[in-house]
Amino acid sequence: MNTESPIKRRKSRQIFVGDVAVGGDAPISVQSMTNTETCDVAATVAQVQAIADAGADIVRVSVPSMEAAEAFKQIRAQVAIPLVADIHFDHKIALKVAEYGVDCLRINPGNIGRDDKVREVISSARDKGIPIRIGVNAGSLGKELQRKYGEPTPAALVESAMHHVDILDKHNYPDFKVSVKASEVFMAVEAYRLLAKKIDQPLHLGITEAGGLRGGTVKSSVGLGMLLMDGIGDTIRISLAADPVEEVKVGFDILKSLKLRSNGINFIACPSCSRQNFDVVGTMNTLEQRLEDVRTAMDVAVIGCIVNGPGEAREADVGLTGATPSNLIYVDGEPDHKISNEDFIDHLETVIRDKAAQLERQRAEEAEKLILKTSA
Beta-bridge mates of residue 105: 85, 132
As a whole-number percent, the residues of the chain with pLDDT over 90 amount to 86
Q: Which residues contact 295 (CB under 8 A, 6 or more apart)?
A: 55, 263, 264
Q: What is the mean pLDDT of residues 216-226?
A: 97
Q: Say yes or no to pLDDT of 237 above 80.
A: yes
Q: Which residues contact 56 (CB under 8 A, 6 or more apart)?
A: 30, 31, 32, 81, 248
CATH no., domain 265-375 = 3.30.413.10
Render the burial of 342-374: b for 16+ CB within 10 Å, e for the rest. eebbeebeebbbebbeeeeeeeeeeeeeeeeee
pLDDT for the residue 367: 85
Secondary-structure class of domain 15-257 per CATH: alpha beta
pLDDT, tens digit, for every residue of 163-200? 999 999 999 999 999 999 999 999 999 999 999 999 99
**Which stretches of the chain are DSSP H helices?**
41-53, 66-78, 91-99, 115-128, 143-149, 154-170, 185-196, 213-229, 244-257, 280-290, 309-314, 344-375
Q: Which of 105-114, 209-218, 309-318 has the lowest mean pLDDT?
A: 105-114
pLDDT for the residue 195: 98
Q: Which residues contact 67 (CB under 8 A, 6 or more apart)?
A: 39
pLDDT for the residue 88: 87
Predicted confidence band of residue 99 (pLDDT cuts 50, 70, 90): very high
* Other CB atoms within 10 Å distance of the CB of residue 70: 16
Q: What is the mean pLDDT of residues 298-325?
A: 93
* Other CB atoms within 10 Å distance of the CB of residue 43: 14
Q: Check residue 219 and report its DSSP letter.
A: H
Q: What is the mean pLDDT of residues 241-261?
A: 95
Q: What is the mean pLDDT of residues 226-241?
A: 97
- What is the distance between the alpha carbons of residues 358 and 2, in angstroms, rounded to a whole number? 16
- What is the distance between the alpha carbons of residues 128 and 17, in angstroms, rounded to a whole number? 12
Q: Hey, where are the domains in the chain?
A: 15-257, 265-375
Q: Which of 143-152, 196-205, 222-231 has the lowest mean pLDDT?
A: 143-152
Which amino acid is present at 31? Q
Q: What is the mean pLDDT of the chain?
A: 94
pLDDT, tens digit, for every residue of 37-74? 999 999 999 999 999 999 999 999 999 999 999 999 99
Are 105 and 132 spatial neighbours (Cβ–Cβ below 8 Å)?
Answer: yes
Task: Select the more confidently predicted residue: 75 or 274.
Answer: 75
pLDDT for the residue 2: 58
pLDDT for the residue 109: 87
- What is the distance between the alpha carbons of residues 61 and 224, in angstroms, rounded to a whole number? 23
Beta-bridge mates of residue 300: 267, 318
